[in-house]
């Protein structure tokens, strides 16, 4: 299965910020126990590459990506460590071109029609809409869908249990990204019970939306 299809099947990509690489394993296991075998490790900390490498080596069943990728060097390091997709906060043409050249699924961040059009011209079909709530949320995505019917989005930034369903109900949203099921604080504290509980709650929201769409 294509990586982006798998992301769409999950409906939610947990965004993990890890301060210690060894904390990634328990957090990922809690996500999987809650029914969500995917995670995006952000390059907001120095532990990101090692965390991806540990997860890729110990949990081949987990769909691992790299987020907050700002440079080609970070993209290369993430993929070398085992990341299967790359997400960026903004539209960085160099990172996008590198990923396309190396056949790495990439979701660059966009928040304007101009950036969405730039992604479309690169041949991309799925883009990250970031920061979602700040950039206009559901209303902005609805407007983008009217003029770019061929594009799909993964809104990230300000997504939580309370608004997840509204985003997922949009026809141009393939999945959402969110940090609330496994926050930086929960990961650092090793609170796998709470991570699993929040993940189960999120998975249930995704299921209800998908059932309503049938």
Q: Which sequence spans correspond to the domains of the chain?
A: 3-213
What is the tens place of the pLDDT at every residue in 55-85?
999 999 999 999 999 999 999 999 999 999 9
Tell me what the pLDDT averaged over the chain comes to: 97
Confidence of residue 212 (pLDDT cuts 50, 70, 90): confident
Q: Which fold has domain 3-213?
A: TIM Barrel (3.20.20)
pLDDT for 213 beyond 90:
no
Task: Give the mean model confidence (pLDDT) for residues 159-176.
Answer: 98
What is the tens place of the pLDDT at every residue in 25-61?
999 999 999 999 999 999 999 999 999 999 999 999 9
The active-site residue, picked from 40, 49, 53, 196, is: 40
DSSP string, the chain: --HHHHHHHH-EEEEE--SSGGGHHHHHHHHHHTT--EEEEETTSTTHHHHHHHHHHH-TTSEEEEES--SHHHHHHHHHHT-S-EE-SS--HHHHHHHHHTT--EE-EE-SHHHHHHHHHTT-SEEEETTTTTTTHHHHHHHHHHH-TT-EEEEBSS--TTTHHHHHTSTTB--EEESGGG-HHHHHHT-HHHHHHHHHHHHHHHHHHHHHH-
122 is catalytic: no
40 is catalytic: yes
The active-site residue, picked from 49, 53, 128, 196, is: 128
Confidence of residue 1 (pLDDT cuts 50, 70, 90): low
What is the tens place of the pLDDT at every residue in 74-131?
999 999 999 999 999 999 999 999 999 999 999 999 999 999 999 999 999 999 999 9
Percent of the chain with pLDDT over 90: 98
């Amino acid at each position: 299965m294509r990586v982006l299809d798998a992301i769409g099947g999950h409906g939610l990509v947990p965004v993990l910020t890890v301060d210690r690489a060894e904390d990634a394993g328990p957090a990922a296991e809690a996500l999987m126990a809650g029914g969500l075998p995917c995670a995006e490790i952000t390059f907001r900390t120095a532990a990101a590459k090692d965390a991806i490498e540990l997860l890729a080596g110990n949990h081949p069943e987990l769909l691992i990506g790299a987020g907050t990728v700002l440079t080609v060097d970070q993209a290369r390091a993430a993929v070398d460590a085992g990341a299967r997709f790359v997400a960026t906060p903004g539209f960085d043409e160099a990172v996008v071109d590198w990923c396309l050249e190396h056949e790495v699924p990439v979701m660059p961040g966009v928040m304007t029609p101009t950036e969405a059009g730039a992604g479309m011209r690169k041949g991309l079909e799925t883009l990250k809409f970031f920061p979602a709530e700040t950039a206009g949320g559901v209303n902005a995505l609805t407007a983008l869908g009217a003029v770019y019917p061929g594009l799909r989005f993964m809104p990230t930034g300000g997504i939580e249990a309370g608004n997840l369903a509204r985003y997922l109900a949009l026809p141009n949203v393939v999945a959402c990204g969110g940090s609330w099921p496994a926050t930086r604080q929960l990961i650092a504290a090793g609170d796998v019970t709470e991570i699993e509980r929040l993940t189960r709650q999120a998975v249930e929201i995704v299921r209800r939306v998908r059932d309503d769409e049938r």
